Structure 1
Amino acid sequence: MRQNGIHHVTAIAGPARRNIDFYTRTLGLRLVKKTVNFDDPSTYHFYYGDEAGHPGTVLTFFPWEHAAPGRLGIGETQETVFRVPEGSVGYWTHRFIEHGVSHDALEKRFGETVLAFKDPDGMRLALVAVPGIENEPAWTTGEIPAEHAIRGFHSASLLLADATPTGAILTDVLGFTEVAREGTLVRYKAGDTAIGGIVDLRAAGNFMRGRSGAGTVHHIAFRAENDAAQGEMVKRLAENHGIHATEQKNRDYFRAVYFREPGGLLFEIATDDPGFAVDEPAALLGQALKLPRFLESRRPQIEAVLPEVA
C-alpha cells in the first residue's frame, strides 16, 4: 500500500554545535547525514532521524551561527511533534527538567497526552504518548534507553489564516483525509501511515504573519513513493489548484519539488528513495561531511568556512 505522510521537516537553527548536542544528546536522535545546504554550501545541513533516517522520522536543520530569531505567525509550521511510548512521558518530563529544557505542563489533544517543549533556538516541539509502540524499533544512545526513545514523527501543526484551502491540498494532492476537529484544530490523517501520518491545521484568522529565522521551520516535505507518484501529485496540483511546483531537484538522498501552498507555507514533495545510505555505509551515517558531486571539487574551501562541530 502506498505510504503518504510527512517525509521530513526542515528548520533554521543558530550555532551548529549546539544544534547537534541538543538533538543527538538531549533528544537522542541519530545524526544520519552531515552535509551542506546545496544552495548555500557555506552552511551545514544536518539530518536527524531513526537508525536509517526513514521517511517520517527526519528533522533537518540549516544552522547559521549568527541567525536572528524568527517569529511564529500565520503561514508557518507551528509545532513539530514526535511519538514516544505511552509510559515514557514521565521519563521525558524529568529529563527536560534535568537538562533545563523549556517545556509546558502536560495537556490533552484529541484524547492524547502531549508534552510541548522548545529547543535552544525556541523552535516549538512536542512529544505525544502513543500506546502500543513500545516494541517498535528505536535508535538508542547511552543515556536514553530503548523503552523511552523517540519513534519518529507523530504530526506537524500548521498555523493559517484559513485552514480550508490548505486542507484541500492535503486531501486532493498529498493523500490525507480529514478525521477530526477540536476547537480551532482540524486533523488530517494519511491513511494507515503510523509514522508522520498526521497534519493538524489551526485557523487563526488575522493573527500576525511569521518571520523566518532561528527556531522556525523553513519547509515541510511530504512523501512520494517514487518519481511517478511525485509526478502525479505535481500534475494534480497544477490541474486542480492552479499551483505549479518547481522542476525536480536532486538532493542526493531524495528527489524534490517545491511549491507555496495557499496559506503561504513552503511545501516539498520528496521521494522515499534512495535514502541516506547511498553515499556512506549505514553503520557510519552522519560521521563524515558528505558533499554532492557538483561541490566535491570545492571541498577545501567549503570545509574552511564551516564551523568545527567534532
Structure 2
Amino acid sequence: MTRHGIHHVTAISGEARRNVDFYTRILGLRLVKRTVNFDDPGTWHLYYGDEAGQPGTILTFFPWAQSAPGRQGVGELHETVFRIPQAAIGFWTHRLLASGVEQETRTERFGETVIAFRDPDAMRVALVALPGIESEPGWATADIPAEHAIRGIHGVTLMLEDGARTGAILSDVLGFAETAKEGNVVRYQAPGTAIGGVVDLRSVGGFLPARLGRGSVHHLAFRAADDAEEAAMVQRLAENHGIRTTEQMDRNYFRSVYFREPGHVLFEIATDIPGFAVDEPAESLGTVLKLPRGLEKHRAEIERVLPELA
C-alpha cells in the first residue's frame, strides 16, 4: 500500500563529532548510515533514524564545521518535530535539562503538548507527546529505555510568506490533506501515515528571507513508493502547477528528484526503495563508512580527510 508523508529532513550542522553526540547520545537516535555528500565527498553525510531506518524517521546532516550560521526567516523549514509517548514527557523534560539543553516554555499545539529546543547549531527541534504510541518499537540506548525513546518524526513547520500555493502542492501532488487551522498555521496530514505525516504551514509577512547556513535545514524530502509513483508525481507537478523537477538522481538508498516549491523551500521526492540495508546488514547499520560505487576507488583519500566522529 502506498504511504505518503515525509521521507527525511536534511540539514547543515557544524562540527561532526558534536552532531553525532547530540543526536545519538542526548536524543537517542540510531546512526543508520555513514556516507559522504556525493557532491562534496570530503564531507560526511550522516543519517539518523529508528532501528530499521524507515522513511519518516530520518534526519540527515551535512557537517560543515566552518560554515557561517544560518539566518531564520521566511522560505525555510523552521522546525522539525519528533514523536515521543505521552508518558515520556517528564523523562524528556528532565533529560534535556540535565544535558544542558535549554527548553522553551512547554506549549500546546493542535491539542498536543510540545517541548521545543535547539540543537548545538541552533537548529529548531521539538518533541511532541502523543497518546497510543507506546507499543511502537523504540531504539534503546545505554540511558534511554525503549519505552521513552523517540518514535520517528511527527512533522515539520515551514515558515512562508503565504502558504496557499504550497498547500495546493501538498494536497494535489504529495498526498496530504488540510485538516486543521490554528492562528496563522494550517496543518496538513498524510492520511493513514502516523510517522512523518504532518506538515504545518505558518504564513507570516514582513520577515527577512531565510539564509542557508549552519543550523539551517537544506531540504525536505517526501515519500514515493517507487520510481513509477515518483514519475507520476513529477508529471502532476508539471501539468497542474507548472513546476519542473531535476532529473532523477540515484542516492544509493533512494532515488530522488528536487524542486523549489512556491515558498522557496527546496523539496525532494524520494523513493522508499531500496532502503538503507541495501549495502550493509540491518543489524550493523551505520557502523562503517559506505561509499557509492563511483567513489570507492577514492576511499583511502576520503577517509583521510573526513573528520573523526568519536
Counterpart of 1:237?
Answer: 237
Give how far 1:232 is off: 0.5
State how 1:192-207 maps to structure 2 within 5 Å: 192-207=192-207
Match of 2:39 in 1: 39
Name the structure 1 match of 2:255: 255
Structure 2 residue aligned with 1:281: 281
Query: What is the alpha-carbon distance in structure 1 between the residues aligned to residue 206 and residue 164 of structure 2?
Result: 15
SS of residue matched to 2:23: helix
In structure 2, what is the equivalent of residue 116 of structure 1? 116
**8 Å Cα contact 1:102-1:119 kept in structure 2:** no
Map residues 59-138 of structure 1 onto 2, 5 A cutoff: 59-138=59-138
The code of the aligned residue for 2:220 comes to I
Structure 1 stretches of 4+ moved >6 Å: none
| Deviation (angstroms), 1:301 | 1.3
Report SS of the residue matched to 1:55: coil
C-alpha distance in structure 2 between counterparts of 1:20 and 1:223, whole Å: 25
**1:218 maps to 2:183:** no
Tell me, what secondary structure is at the counterpart of 1:291? coil
> Partner residue of 1:266?
266
Q: Which amino acid aligns with 2:103?
A: H
Letter in 1 for 2:7: H
What's the CA shift string for 1:233-292, capped at 9, x where partnerless? 000000011100000000000000000000000000000011111101111111101100
Q: Secondary structure at the match of 1:267?
A: strand
Shift of 1:205: 1.4
CA distance in 2, matches of 1:102, 1:121: 13
What is the letter of the counterpart of residue 130 of structure 1? L
The CA deviation at 1:102 is 2.0
Question: In structure 2, how many angstroms separate the alpha carbons of the residues matched to 1:102 and 1:169?
Answer: 35
Q: Matched residue of 1:208: which SS?
A: coil
**Following TM superposition, by how much is the alpha carbon of 1:21 offset from its aligned partner in structure 2, in angstroms?**
0.4
Query: In 2, Cα distance between the equivalents of 1:275 and 1:211?
Result: 31
Structure 1: runs of 5 or more not aligned: none
TM-score by length of 2: 0.99
**What displacement does 1:138 show?**
1.0
Q: Which amino acid aligns with 1:127?
A: L
Structure 2, unaligned stretches of length 5 or more?
none
- 1:4 counterpart SS class: coil
How many angstroms apart in 1 are the aligned matches of 2:89 and 2:72? 26
**CA offset digits 1:63-97 (Å, max 9, x no partner):** 01212111111110010000000011111010011
RMSD: 0.6
Cα distance in structure 2, aligned partners of 1:309 and 1:190: 35
Residue identity (%): 67
- C-alpha separation in 1, matches of 2:147 and 2:288: 29
Whole-angstrom CA distance in 2 between matches of 1:72 and 1:229: 33
CA–CA separation in structure 2 for the residues paired with 1:102 and 1:244: 41
CA distance in 1, matches of 2:102, 2:221: 27
| CA distance in 2 between partners of 1:93 and 1:9 (Å) | 24
Q: State whether residues 74 and 210 of structure 1, in contact with CA within 8 Å, keep that contact through their aligned partners in structure 2.
A: yes
Task: Letter of the 2:253 partner, please give it.
Answer: Y
Distance 2:188 2:132 in 1: 21
Number of aligned residue pairs: give it.
310
Alignment-mate amino acid for residue 188 of structure 1: Y
The structural deviation recorded for 1:206 is: 2.3
Structure 2 counterpart of 1:55? 55
In the alignment, which residue of structure 2 is the partner of 1:25? 25
